[in-house]
């Protein structure tokens, strides 16, 4: 976190954290150049298509001012 805040590291994209999941008040959630992605692995049949459909559905909801599906805060 110090390296991110100082600019020594420009950005971090984290798929795995310790602890996992991060508690809602964990400091990493509040570092502006730290991006935490959903930890998903393994792959499933049609996974890319399912993820794309999920994204498009949420994009439509966002555009219409509706609550997002599976939003993690």
**Distance from C-alpha of 47 to C-alpha of 18, rounded to nearest angstrom:** 26
Alpha carbon of residue 3 to chain centroid: 20
Contact predicate 34/4, CB 8 Å: yes
Quick check: is 44 catalytic? no
The active-site residue out of 26, 39, 44, 54 is 39
User: Catalytic amino acids?
Assistant: 39
């Amino acid at each position: 976190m110090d390296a991110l805040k100082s600019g020594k590291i420009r950005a971090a994209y984290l798929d795995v954290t310790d602890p996992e999941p991060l508690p809602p008040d964990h400091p990493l959630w509040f570092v502006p150049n730290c991006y935490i992605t959903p930890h998903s692995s393994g792959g499933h049949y049609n996974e890319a298509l399912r993820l794309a459909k999920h994204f498009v559905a949420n994009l439509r909801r966002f555009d219409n001012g509706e609550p997002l599906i599976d939003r993690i805060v």
